[in-house]
């Protein structure tokens, strides 16, 4: 058990993050101070939340490109609700955000399941539609900090046992979804459907329905993150989190989630997100242009995919030309 | 094993000759010291059961596989064929069972893809390409417009395009792998004429077919393989069908089947008049407890299609199914599993095990309802179930956590069987249960099958291996072209009757 843990992909990535932090700390010891690490984690929390949802979707051999647009639309809607009804408790706002995100995820899931449209096409379409709806409902205007109620803005920043609520939500999501993916029949179905949809069908698993549930969960997490994002940055407009869906997919891929489905863990998605988070936060500190961040995360993706492909190659050969050694 | 060779045409030099070719896949000798000679202007039929090594030979000839031993001679010179391009450059070309063509390209583009005539700046010379394509099509008597898009052609014309493509590389050796599988009677006649034309152009033709009438109609020579070994070759006009069948099926001495005293009980499964619009029609039979019912037929006889329908994978079928006398409706594999019918598919790569999941998760996958409560999996029960069935199947692995993809083929097969047994079925359908596994593992699977029947399970075994059908079945249903053509009791089972019914001779 222990050996398996040490040689796993997750351990490798954890090692890579540790080495990265070590290198940075050589010149900037303050970066690895607990308080700074906590703030890096908090800053990465939205990415972690979305990466968990994306991980589940990719696991079922799909992809969700609409997560950032879902986040932005939900964020705009709850911001406008807050402006219209400043006294509405945050609990209601949270419920609305999750429900709205869930609804958008269900739309994606239904199109993939019932109409059998390729997921990349569906979510590319809904991504554009969601952004378009933001423009329609907001008239292209911003909702600014001074228009939002203090309670609305305070929630993600509120401190609980030394960490902001935003961080706690990410931690909670990691725990809950680790359980969902490892201990529930849905989690098992997701691995089976993505790993081998034929075999899963033979085993009585409804592959389409499993994909639908995956999209729904991804949507719910995107909706939740939509509120957290808008309240944390205290602004909502059409283009928030523009292009963020690519960071989310990148986090998954770096975290060892196979884009071909069936392989991946919540822990992997978490570490992939943290890896990107550390790079993003460290580059300004070590005085490298943020544009390098793109190049570095791009390189990390290619390295991760190459490593995964190599790890899987030998396995593939045994599947195809298999037979036991003669006795 | 006895090998006989007829040397009636020894003065002629083969265009292509294989000597002592051996190909080993992990644990299986797909080809063991085989030979093959192809002569210009002659058709050589390569004959053998499934698993005889025919497709491996084709892949070696076309540069896709590299032999582990032996020599390939082209025009008497030892040659290597490291890539598909090298084989094409040597003038060896294959027309495959499933034609590999591109629907969205034109006929001319399909013919010349990869070796199109070039004009200025190395761009494709379209007019030359269309002109040459028209010439080739005309030479094989095909009335097809080279500018047409391929998707607009019928299956027979697509075949002609594939043949034209094969000829466009100045091929000297043409391999036809089951070329008539998808053709109607009239189209087959046209194909025969085409083969005659190719012979007249002095091409050497390797013709792979299961159909005896075709072999005797078209081939000049034959070569027989069995279990990856060379059995015999010679001229077709010097043998008859019965002799060829004997060479093909001659029983493998290494294979011993468990002796069983069938203890056959009452009817479990009654299937009445199951029909599918395109795959099979009018299938009826009953299956009893403790019985092993063999389903024999050539590839494409509709056996797997019927079984998949019985298991709820394909829908559209009509007819009635009864389990223990109760009519049941099967709309999905979950329904079938619930009713007590399980199906162990032929292709464990795509339909059987999920290689990225550990052993125990594969085994419990169809039984998750029993090992979970309110959607939460009870790990202890799951492990207990998986452990019980890995022990029953004597599956040895470092731990139940091992990824199924890291197991050997035989063990993967055991995982798949364990998975279905864990649902406690009444009827188990085993589709080609020993395909692609070595003799030792085969024997274990056969033992186990006998044990299942002894425990009262009703077993349906779909197999294309005659020794296995004869060695294991209490009764055999033979299918041909989607229909049930014969039911043979154990006492009347012989290789010859099976082959005759299956091939319709």
As a whole number, mean pLDDT of residues A157-177 equals 93
Q: Tell me the CB-side half-sphere exposure of residue B258, using CA atoms within 13 A.
A: 21
Quick one: tokens of B79?
Answer: 């040659």
Among B5-9, B105-109, B278-282, the range of highest mean pLDDT: B105-109
Per DSSP, the residues of A94-143 read HHHHHHHHHHHHHHHHHHHHHS---HHHHHHHHHHHHHHHHHHHHTT--B
Interchain proximity A183–B376, CB inside 8 Å: yes
- pLDDT, position A314: 46
Residue B372 pLDDT grade (very low, low, confident, very high; cuts 50, 70, 90): confident
Per DSSP, the residues of B345-380 read -S-IIIII--TTSBHHHHHHGGGHHHHEETTEE-HH
Which of A199, A201, A321 should one mutate to test binding to chain B, selecting the residue with the greatest count of B CBs within 10 A? Answer: A199
Q: Using the predicted structure, report yes or no on whether residue A135 has a pLDDT greater than 60.
A: yes
- Which residues from chain B sit within 8 angstroms of residue A199, using beta carbons? 350-354
Is the Cα dihedral A35, A37, A38, A43 positive or negative? Answer: positive
Min Cα separation B100/chain A (Å): 21
Q: pTM score, two decimals?
A: 0.75
Of A189, A196, A323, the CB nearest to B28: A323
Interchain proximity A201–B333, CB inside 8 Å: yes
As a whole number, mean pLDDT of residues B41-54 equals 85
Q: Using the predicted structure, report yes or no on whether residue A72 has a pLDDT greater than 60.
A: yes
- pLDDT, position B255: 62
As a whole number, mean pLDDT of residues A188-204 equals 90
- Which residues from chain B sit within 8 angstroms of residue A322, using beta carbons? 26-27, 408-410, 412, 436-437
SS3 A204: coil
- pLDDT, position B8: 44
- Which residues from chain B sit within 8 angstroms of residue A268, using beta carbons? none
Distance from CA of residue B26 to its chain's centroid?
20
Residue B182 pLDDT grade (very low, low, confident, very high; cuts 50, 70, 90): low
Chain B residue at shortest CA distance from A182 = B377
Interchain proximity A323–B366, CB inside 8 Å: no
* Short-list B57, B61, B114, B54, CA closest to B83: B61
Alpha-carbon distance of B80 to B61, in angstroms, equals: 10
State how far the alpha carbon of B63 is from the alpha carbons of B82, B90, B92, B179, in Å. Answer: 6, 10, 9, 20
Of B357, B405, B409, the CB nearest to A323: B409
Of A192, A319, A324, the CB nearest to B365: A192
Min Cα separation A264/chain B (Å): 10
Interchain proximity B368–A185, CB inside 8 Å: yes
Q: What is the radius of gyration, based on Cα positions, of chain B?
A: 25
- pLDDT, position B5: 46
Beta bridge partners of B323: B269, B326
Chain A residue at shortest CA distance from B30 = A321
- pLDDT, position A310: 66
- Which residues from chain B sit within 8 angstroms of residue A326, using beta carbons? 27, 438-440
- Which residues from chain A sit within 8 angstroms of residue B402, using beta carbons? none
As a whole number, mean pLDDT of residues B448-454 equals 88
More reliable by pLDDT, A224 or A258: A224
Min Cα separation B22/chain A (Å): 15
Among B10-24, B83-97, B479-493, the range of highest mean pLDDT: B479-493
Q: Comparing A88-97, A211-220, A223-232, B210-219, which segment has the lowest mean pLDDT? A: B210-219
Superfamily of domain B4-249: P-loop containing nucleotide triphosphate hydrolases (3.40.50.300)
Q: Where does residue A225 rank: exposed (0-12), middle (13-18), buried (19+ CB within 10 A)?
A: buried
Of A200, A315, A326, the CB nearest to B406: A315
SS3 B221: strand
Q: Using the predicted structure, report yes or no on whether residue A38 has a pLDDT greater than 90.
A: yes
In a domain, residue A267? The reply is no
Residue B1 pLDDT grade (very low, low, confident, very high; cuts 50, 70, 90): very low
More reliable by pLDDT, B114 or B308: B308
Mean pLDDT of chain B: 84
For the segment A237-285, what is each residue's pLDDT rounded down to a tens digit?
Answer: 999 998 899 999 999 998 989 888 999 999 999 999 999 999 888 888 8
Which of A196, A313, A320 should one mutate to test binding to chain B, selecting the residue with the greatest count of B CBs within 10 A? Answer: A196
Q: How many domains does chain A have?
A: 1
Furthest-apart CA atoms within chain B: distance in Å: 78
Residue B97 pLDDT grade (very low, low, confident, very high; cuts 50, 70, 90): low
Q: Where does residue B257 rank: exposed (0-12), middle (13-18), buried (19+ CB within 10 A)?
A: middle
Question: Is residue B28 a contact partner of residue B53, using CB atoms and an 8 Å limit?
Answer: no
More reliable by pLDDT, B297 or B183: B297
- Which residues from chain B sit within 8 angstroms of residue A191, using beta carbons? 354, 356-357, 361
Q: For A170, left (φ over 0), alpha (ψ -120 to 50), or beta?
A: alpha
Which of B313, B342, B355 should one mutate to test binding to chain A, selecting the residue with the greatest count of A CBs within 10 A? Answer: B355
Question: Is residue B219 a contact partner of residue B236, using CB atoms and an 8 Å limit?
Answer: yes
Q: Where does residue B53 rank: exposed (0-12), middle (13-18), buried (19+ CB within 10 A)?
A: buried
State how far the alpha carbon of A117 is from the alpha carbons of A120, A169, A198, B37, B469, in Å. Answer: 9, 33, 18, 50, 43
* Short-list B103, B174, B119, B120, CA closest to B131: B119
Query: Token pair 């975290």 is at which residue?
Result: A255
As a whole number, mean pLDDT of residues B255-283 equals 84
Other beta carbons within 10 angstroms of residue B120's beta carbon come to 6
- Which residues from chain A sit within 8 angstroms of residue B31, using beta carbons? none
Min Cα separation A192/chain B (Å): 7
Spatial neighbors of A187 by CB under 8 A, at least 6 apart, are A180, A181
- pLDDT, position B180: 72
Q: Where are the domains of chain B?
A: 4-249, 265-340+425-505, 352-424
Interchain proximity B441–A324, CB inside 8 Å: yes
Q: Using the predicted structure, report yes or no on whether residue A140 has a pLDDT greater than 80.
A: yes
- pLDDT, position B50: 67
Other beta carbons within 10 angstroms of residue A177's beta carbon come to 23
Question: Is residue B341 a contact partner of residue B323, using CB atoms and an 8 Å limit?
Answer: yes
Among A101-105, A155-159, B345-349, the range of highest mean pLDDT: A101-105
Is the Cα dihedral B301, B303, B309, B312 positive or negative? Answer: negative
Which of B365, B380, B440 should one mutate to test binding to chain A, selecting the residue with the greatest count of A CBs within 10 A? Answer: B365
Of A191, A324, A326, the CB nearest to B411: A324
Calculate the CA dihedral of residues B57, B63, B66, B67 and round it to 10 degrees: 40
Of B350, B401, B410, the CB nearest to A323: B410
More reliable by pLDDT, A256 or B258: A256
Which of A9, A198, A204 should one mutate to test binding to chain B, selecting the residue with the greatest count of B CBs within 10 A? Answer: A204
SS3 A162: coil
Chain A residue at shortest CA distance from B360 = A188
Pinpoint the alpha helices (H) of B208-258: 212-218, 241-249
Alpha-carbon distance of B201 to B199, in angstroms, equals: 5
Question: Is residue B248 a contact partner of residue B226, using CB atoms and an 8 Å limit?
Answer: yes
* Short-list B499, B362, B335, B361, CA closest to B417: B362
Percent of chain A with pLDDT over 70: 91
Min Cα separation A205/chain B (Å): 7
Q: What is the radius of gyration, based on Cα positions, of chain A?
A: 20
Q: Using the predicted structure, report yes or no on whether residue A318 has a pLDDT greater than 50.
A: no
Interchain proximity B440–A198, CB inside 8 Å: no
Interchain proximity A200–B354, CB inside 8 Å: yes
Alpha-carbon distance of B149 to B147, in angstroms, equals: 7
As a whole number, mean pLDDT of residues B132-153 equals 86
Min Cα separation A54/chain B (Å): 19
Fold of B265-340+425-505: Rossmann fold (3.40.50)
Residue B184 pLDDT grade (very low, low, confident, very high; cuts 50, 70, 90): low
Of A185, A191, A201, the CB nearest to B357: A191
- pLDDT, position B27: 63
In a domain, residue A212? The reply is yes
SS3 A64: coil
Other beta carbons within 10 angstroms of residue B16's beta carbon come to 24
Q: What angle do CA B438, B441, B446 make, to 5 degrees?
A: 120
As a whole number, mean pLDDT of residues B33-41 equals 92
- pLDDT, position B138: 86
Q: Using the predicted structure, report yes or no on whether residue B4 has a pLDDT greater than 50.
A: no
As a whole number, mean pLDDT of residues B441-458 equals 84
Q: Using the predicted structure, report yes or no on whether residue A66 has a pLDDT greater than 90.
A: yes
B43-47 vs B173-177, strand pairing mode: unpaired
- SS3 for B145-200, per residue? CCCCEHHHCCHHHHHHHHHHHHHHCCCCEEEEECCCCCCCHHHHHHHHHHHHHHHH
As a whole number, mean pLDDT of residues A20-37 equals 88
Q: Comparing B71-80, B198-207, B393-402, B439-448, which segment has the lowest mean pLDDT? A: B439-448
- pLDDT, position A322: 36
State how far the alpha carbon of B240 is from the alpha carbons of A279, B65, B126, B504, in Å. Answer: 76, 33, 50, 16
Alpha-carbon distance of A244 to A264, in angstroms, equals: 21
Chain A residue at shortest CA distance from B311 = A202
- Which residues from chain A sit within 8 angstroms of residue B25, using beta carbons? 321, 323
Interchain proximity B376–A315, CB inside 8 Å: no
Interchain proximity B313–A202, CB inside 8 Å: yes
Alpha-carbon distance of A114 to A280, in angstroms, equals: 39
- Which residues from chain B sit within 8 angstroms of residue A262, using beta carbons? 354, 356-357
Domain that holds residue A209: 37-242
Beta bridge partners of B211: none
More reliable by pLDDT, B316 or B411: B411
ipTM, 2 dp: 0.77
Beta bridge partners of B328: B321
Please tell me if the domain spanning B4-249 has the same topology as the one spanning B265-340+425-505: yes
- Which residues from chain A sit within 8 angstroms of residue B437, using beta carbons? 322-324
- pLDDT, position A167: 95
Q: Using the predicted structure, report yes or no on whether residue A323 has a pLDDT greater than 50.
A: no
Interchain proximity B409–A315, CB inside 8 Å: no
Interchain proximity A325–B27, CB inside 8 Å: yes
In a domain, residue A186? The reply is yes
Per DSSP, the residues of B445-467 read HHHHHHHHHHTT-EEEEE-S-HH
Q: Using the predicted structure, report yes or no on whether residue A1 has a pLDDT greater than 50.
A: no
As a whole number, mean pLDDT of residues B48-70 equals 85
* CB pairs A-B closer than 8 Å: 128
Residue B181 pLDDT grade (very low, low, confident, very high; cuts 50, 70, 90): low
């Amino acid at each position: 058990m222990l050996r398996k843990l040490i040689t796993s992909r997750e351990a490798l990535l954890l090692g890579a993050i540790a080495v990265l932090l070590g290198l940075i700390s050589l010149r900037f010891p303050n970066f690895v101070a607990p308080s700074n690490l906590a703030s890096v984690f908090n800053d990465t929390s939205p990415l972690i939340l979305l990466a968990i949802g994306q991980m589940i979707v990719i696991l079922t051999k799909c992809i969700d490109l609409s997560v950032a647009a879902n986040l932005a639309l939900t964020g705009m809607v709850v911001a406008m609700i807050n402006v219209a009804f400043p006294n509405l408790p945050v609990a209601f706002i949270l419920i609305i955000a999750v429900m709205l995100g869930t609804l958008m995820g269900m739309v994606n899931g239904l199109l993939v399941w019932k109409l059998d449209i390729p997921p990349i096409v569906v979510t590319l379409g809904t991504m554009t539609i969601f952004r378009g709806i933001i423009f329609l409902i907001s008239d292209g205007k911003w909702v600014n900090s001074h228009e939002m109620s203090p309670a609305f803005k305070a929630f993600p920043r509120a401190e609980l046992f030394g960490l902001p609520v935003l961080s706690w939500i990410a931690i909670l999501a990691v725990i809950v979804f680790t359980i969902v993916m490892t201990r529930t029949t849905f989690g098992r179905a997701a691995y089976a459907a993505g790993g081998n949809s034929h075999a899963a069908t033979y085993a009585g698993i409804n592959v389409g329905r499993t994909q639908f549930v995956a999209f729904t969960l991804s949507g719910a997490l995107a909706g939740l993150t939509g509120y957290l994002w808008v309240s944390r940055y205290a602004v909502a407009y059409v283009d928030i989190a523009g292009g963020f869906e690519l960071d989310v997919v990148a986090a998954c891929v770096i975290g060892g989630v196979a884009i071909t489905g069936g392989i991946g863990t919540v822990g992997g998605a978490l570490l992939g997100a943290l890896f990107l988070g550390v790079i993003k936060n460290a580059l300004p500190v070590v005085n490298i242009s943020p544009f390098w961040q793109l190049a570095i995360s791009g390189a990390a993706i290619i390295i991760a995919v190459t490593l995964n492909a190599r790890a899987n190659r030998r396995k593939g050969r045994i599947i195809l030309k298999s037979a036991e050694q003669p006795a | 094993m006895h090998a006989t060779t007829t040397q009636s045409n020894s003065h002629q030099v083969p265009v292509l000759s294989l000597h002592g070719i051996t190909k080993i896949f992990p644990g299986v000798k797909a080809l063991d010291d085989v030979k093959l000679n192809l002569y210009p202007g002659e058709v050589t039929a390569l004959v053998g059961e499934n698993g005889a090594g025919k497709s491996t030979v084709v892949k070696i000839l076309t540069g896709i596989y590299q032999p582990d031993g032996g020599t390939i001679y082209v025009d008497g010179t030892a040659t290597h064929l490291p890539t598909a391009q090298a084989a094409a450059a040597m003038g060896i070309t294959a027309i495959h069972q499933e034609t590999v063509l591109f629907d969205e390209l034109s006929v001319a583009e399909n013919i010349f893809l990869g070796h199109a005539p070039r004009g200025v700046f190395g761009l494709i010379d379209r007019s030359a390409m269309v002109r040459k394509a028209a010439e080739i099509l005309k030479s094989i008597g095909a009335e097809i417009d080279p500018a047409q898009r391929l998707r607009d052609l019928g299956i027979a014309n697509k075949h002609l395009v594939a043949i034209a493509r094969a000829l466009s590389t100045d091929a000297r050796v043409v391999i036809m792998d089951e070329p008539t599988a998808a053709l109607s009677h009239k189209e087959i006649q046209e194909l025969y004429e085409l083969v005659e034309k190719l012979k007249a152009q002095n091409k050497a033709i390797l013709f792979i077919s299961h159909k005896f009438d075709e072999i005797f109609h078209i081939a000049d020579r034959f070569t027989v393989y069995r279990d990856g070994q060379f059995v015999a070759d010679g001229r077709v006009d010097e043998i008859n069908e019965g002799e060829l069948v004997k060479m093909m099926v001659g029983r493998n001495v290494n294979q011993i089947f468990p002796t069983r005293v069938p203890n056959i009980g009452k009817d479990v499964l009654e299937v009445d008049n199951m029909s599918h619009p395109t795959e099979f029609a009018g299938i009826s039979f009953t299956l009893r407890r403790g019985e092993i019912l063999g389903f024999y037929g050539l590839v494409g006889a509709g056996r797997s299609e019927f079984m998949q329908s019985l298991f709820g994978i394909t829908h559209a079928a009509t007819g009635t199914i009864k389990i223990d006398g109760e009519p049941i409706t099967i709309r999905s594999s979950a329904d079938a599993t619930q009713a007590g019918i399980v199906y162990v598919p032929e292709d464990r790569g795509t339909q059987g095990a999920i290689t990225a999941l550990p052993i125990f998760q594969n085994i419990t996958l169809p039984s998750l309802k029993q090992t979970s409560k309110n959607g939460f999996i009870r790990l202890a029960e799951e492990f207990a179930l998986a452990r019980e069935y890995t022990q029953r199947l004597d599956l040895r692995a470092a731990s139940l956590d091992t990824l199924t993809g890291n197991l050997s083929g035989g063990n993967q097969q055991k995982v798949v069987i364990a998975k279905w047994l864990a649902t406690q079925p009444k009827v188990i359908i085993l589709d080609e249960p020993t395909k692609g596994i070595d003799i030792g593992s085969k024997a274990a699977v056969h033992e186990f099958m006998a044990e299942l029947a002894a425990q009262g399970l009703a077993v349906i075994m779909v197999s294309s291996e005659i020794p296995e059908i004869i060695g294991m079945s209490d009764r055999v249903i033979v299918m041909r072209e989607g229909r049930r053509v014969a039911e043979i009791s154990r006492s009347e089972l012989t290789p010859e009757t099976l082959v005759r019914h299956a091939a319709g001779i």
